[in-house]
Chain A
Amino acid sequence: KAGVTQTPRYLIKTRGQQVTLSCSPISGHRSVSWYQQTPGQGLQFLFEYFSETQRNKGNFPGRFSGRQFSNSRSEMNVSTLELGDSALYLCASSLVGADNYGYTFGSGTRLTVV
C-alpha cells in the first residue's frame, strides 16, 4: 500500500517568490494536515483539510494557504517567500473522522529560501 507522497522533495526559491507543494494521501484517507519543521520552533501545525474544507488552521500568516481536491490530494502555497520560511514541510494523512486514528507522514519537502 502506497504511503503519503510529497512532491517535490527539495526546492530552492528566492525571497519574494511563491511556491506550491503537493501531497497525495494514503488511499482512503480523506484528512490531510500540513506541518512546518524548523530547528528553532520544532514541528508546528499549519492546517488540516477534510473533504475539501479547511477544518483547522495554525498560527501562521495569511501568506500560507492550502486547498484539497476531490481526490483528497492537497496543495500548500506560500506567497512572498521570506528567509524564515526555509523549513521541512511535512504532510500527514489520516482516516476520515479519525479522532482515534493515528497520522501517517510523508517524507517532506525541504524548502530553502535564498
Chain B
Amino acid sequence: KQEVTQIPAALSVPEGENLVLNCSFTDSAIYNLQWFRQDPGKGLTSLLLIQSSQREQTSGRLNASLDKSSGRSTLYIAASQPGDSATYLCAVRGAQKLVFGQGTRLTINP
C-alpha cells in the first residue's frame, strides 16, 4: 500500500527566503508525481507534474525534483512571497488514483 509523507507539516519563513518542501513515498512503482497548492477552503491548484521518467520540472520560481528509486521528491520555492502562503500537497499516481501526503502548511511573513 502506497504511503506518502510530507515534511515538515508546517513551515514559517520571512519573505524573500528560498525554501524546500519534502515528499517521500514508499512504493516506487508510480506513473507520475504532482505538486498541488491549496488555499484555505478552496480546491487544489496543480503546480507541477513530473513523469516517472523525469528528474525535474520547473515553472517560474518553482522547481520540483523526483528521485523515484529512493522514493523522494522536493519542491523548491525561490524568493518566497507572502502570496505563496498556502498548503502544499504532493500526490503520487498509481493505478487509477492519486495518493496524497498530509501537506505542508507554508506561511511567508512580510
B49 closest partner in A (C-beta)? A102
Query: Taking the complex as formed, is B10 at the interface, i.e. its CB lies under 8 A from any CB of chain A?
Result: no
Chain B binding site: helix, strand, loop or mixed by DSSP?
Answer: strand
Query: What number of B residues sit within 8 Å (CB to CB) of A?
Result: 24
B-chain residues with CB within 8 Å of residue A33 when the two chains form the complex: 97-98
Query: Which of B46, B96, B97 touches A105 (beta carbons < 8 Å)?
Result: B46
Cβ–Cβ contact B99 & A105, under 8 A: no
Shortest CB–CB separation between residue B89 and chain A, in angstroms? 7
Complex interface bits, A76-90 against B, C-beta within 8 A gives 1, otherwise 0: 000000000000101
A-chain residues with CB within 8 Å of residue B45 when the two chains form the complex: 105
Query: Taking the complex as formed, is A58 at the interface, i.e. its CB lies under 8 A from any CB of chain B?
Result: yes
Cβ–Cβ contact A103 & B51, under 8 A: no
A4 closest partner in B (C-beta)? B43
Query: Which of B32, B41, B95, B97 touches A102 (beta carbons < 8 Å)?
Result: B32
Complex interface bits, A20-40 against B, C-beta within 8 A gives 1, otherwise 0: 000000000000010100000
Query: Once bound together, how far apart are the Cα atoms of A45 and B96, in whole Å?
Result: 10
A-chain residues with CB within 8 Å of residue B98 when the two chains form the complex: 33, 35, 43, 45, 92, 103
Query: Taking the complex as formed, is B76 at the interface, i.e. its CB lies under 8 A from any CB of chain A?
Result: no
Cβ–Cβ contact A104 & B46, under 8 A: yes
Cβ–Cβ contact B43 & A45, under 8 A: no
Cβ–Cβ contact B100 & A43, under 8 A: yes
B-chain residues with CB within 8 Å of residue A43 when the two chains form the complex: 89, 91, 98, 100
Cβ–Cβ contact A58 & B97, under 8 A: yes
Cβ–Cβ contact A42 & B32, under 8 A: no
Query: Taking the complex as formed, is B102 at the interface, i.e. its CB lies under 8 A from any CB of chain A?
Result: yes
Query: Taking the complex as formed, is B72 at the interface, i.e. its CB lies under 8 A from any CB of chain A?
Result: no
Query: Taking the complex as formed, is B61 at the interface, i.e. its CB lies under 8 A from any CB of chain A?
Result: no
Cβ–Cβ contact B97 & A48, under 8 A: yes
Interface residues in B13-54 by Cβ distance below 8 A to A read 31-32, 34, 36, 41-46, 49, 51
Cβ–Cβ contact A45 & B97, under 8 A: yes
- Beyond A33-B97, A102-B34, 18 additional contacts (C-beta under 8 Å) are A6-B43, A35-B100, A42-B101, A45-B97, A56-B96, A90-B43, A92-B98, A99-B93, A100-B31, A102-B32, A103-B91, A103-B98, A105-B36, A105-B45, A106-B43, A107-B42, A107-B43, A108-B43
